[in-house]
Amino acid sequence: MGLKKLFKIKPIFTLLLICALGGSYPAFSQASDSTRTNSITGAVKDSATAAPVTPAKPLISTDVDTTQLSWTGGGIEVPKPAAETSAEYKSAGYYVLLFLLFCVFLAIIGRVLRVYELTNGIQGKASKINWNKIQSILFGIALIAGLYGVYWSYTVQGAMSVTESASVHGKRLDFMFNVTLIITTIVFILTHIALFGFAFRYPGSDKRKAYFYPHNNALERVWTIVPAIVLTVLVLLGFFTWRSITNVPEEEQRGAISMEVTGEQFKWNIRYAGDDNQLGVKNYKLINANNNLGIDFKDRKSWDDKLGGEIMLPVNRPVRVTIGSKDIIHSFLIPDFKVQINAVPGMATYFQFTPTMTTAQMREKRQDPAYDYVLLCNKICGEGHYNMQAKVTVVTEEEYKAWLAKQPLFYNDEVKQQLRMAEQKAAKDNTIALNK
């Protein structure tokens, strides 16, 4: 086949391929839907013919939208599976097919252009395609698309993922994040405008030679010293911010509400300090069916500790959380408060923070009456990791005190009875040992 014939056939073949593959997917979906509907119709009609039954009440509720009913057979109405049909258009395979089709289309276009150049060469004609100009235009288009992508990321995606903090220290973290983001964004935009802009403004040409910069001390000082200063400022800002959050003065620690959160696969165990605002000590050797945290009840500070089914916090009051784990490493995360620290077995970690908005205020701010703060595990800890969460509610001081007064004690009558029985058994064993 000659080159001219090939040049004419390939675009036609490509166009037919696009039309066939692009249009076949909806057709396949409709065919499968009609086949499924016909099979159901036939089955229902056969059953109705074999054993006609008059139902006592309609099988389809009167709440069903009649516009979605596809057919009536044997007195039974079956709704059309419209949701299933539309879902097929959004499957991953559909988009993979489009991507592969686009790649094939580009490959064929490239081959056609190559054939066009070879044909001109055989005929002794100069190539009329200026690839340098085409590439410069593509760089310009890529620059515009990239700058729009930055704008979209800030206005749309960023607004969904970055929200206002609901804690005091969260404001400092937001400030540090914004400073870093502004600096890196400015550098990103300027460098890409220079990179793509120069490629667009100065395409390759046989009429001039590029000037090579093998060495320039002044330029190298600028791009070494300036980034070093900027990075030093960011590192110091992060260091002092983190110290202000983790190294809380002892006086402020004593004034904060004391509570403990212990992680295990796949739940959080919550303990509140009592009137003394001090938690009793724990010992893993004391863990049993009725003392799942291993609290040492010989320590009088544990007698007024309370069991919390959820995390309830007063607004504008500092809270100091003692965090631990019974099995493996978990991560204590409350996104709205910008609180996160690892829960490590055998070692207590601490985080102190102050909520600034009640749950009701946050719901009003987000215009979502069902919104709740939530405690999550931010370490993949097993197959139930997704379910390891606890509700966090921020209320007024009065509501918090009323809620805490209703919570049960860890040191309850059942635990006291078990301790007495254990002491009696130990005394009996000692007596038997002495008699021997």
Q: Has residue 275 got a pLDDT over 70? A: yes
pLDDT for 90 equals: 64
- 288 forms beta bridges with 291
Please tell me the predicted confidence (pLDDT) of residue 58: 41
Most confident of 36-40, 47-51, 373-377: 373-377
Percent of the chain with pLDDT over 90: 29
Average pLDDT over residues 159-170: 84
In this structure, whether the domain defined by 256-411 belongs to CATH 2.40.128.20 is answered with: no
Token digits of residue 47: 């059953």
What does the pLDDT read at residue 405? 87
User: Residue 338 pLDDT more than 50?
Assistant: yes
| Per-residue pLDDT reduced to its tens digit, 71-101 | 443 444 444 444 444 444 567 888 888 889 9
pLDDT at residue 406, as a whole number: 87
In this structure, what token pair is assigned to residue 317?
A: 């009051």
Predicted local distance difference test score (pLDDT) of residue 436: 67
What confidence score (pLDDT) does residue 411 get?
A: 74
Q: Highest mean pLDDT: which of 7-11, 92-96, 293-297, 342-346?
A: 342-346
Residue with tokens 């400022």: 233
Q: Which pLDDT value is given to residue 20? A: 46
Q: How confident is the model at residue 298 (pLDDT cuts 50, 70, 90)?
A: confident
**Residue 24 clears pLDDT 50, i.e. is over it:** no
Distance CA 161, CA 14 (A): 42
Lowest mean pLDDT among 51-65, 173-187, 256-270, 299-313: 51-65
Question: In the chain, pLDDT over 70 holds for what percent of residues?
Answer: 76
Provide CB contacts within 8 A for 166, sequence distance 6+.
Answer: 336, 337, 355, 356, 357, 362, 373, 394
Residues of each domain in the chain carrying CATH 2.60.40.420: 256-411
Residue 341, class by beta-carbon neighbours within 10 Å (0-12 exposed, 13-18 middle, 19+ buried)? Answer: middle
Judged against a pLDDT cut of 70, whether residue 339 lies above it is answered with yes
Q: Which residues contact 193 (CB under 8 A, 6 or more apart)?
A: 143, 147
- Tell me what pLDDT residue 23 has: 46
| Confidence band for 320, pLDDT divided at 50, 70 and 90 | very high
Task: Give the bridge partners for 188, in sequence order.
Answer: none
Q: CB pairs under 8 A, 24+ apart, for 187-194? A: 188/150, 189/147, 189/150, 192/143, 192/146, 192/147, 193/143, 193/147
Q: What gap in Å lies between CA 328 and CA 268, rounded to an integer?
A: 13
pLDDT of residue 127: 64
CA-wise closest residue to 293 among 315, 276, 274, 270: 270
435 or 232: which leads in pLDDT: 232
- H/E element holding 189? helix 168-201
Q: How high is the pLDDT of residue 423?
A: 66
3-state SS assignment for residue 162: coil
How far is 39 from 102, CA to CA, in rounded Å?
36
Cα–Cα distance for residue pair 173/287, rounded to 1 Å: 38
- When pLDDT is averaged across residues 217-246 and rounded to a whole number, the result is 90
| pLDDT tens digits, one per residue of 97-124 | 888 998 899 889 888 888 877 887 787 7
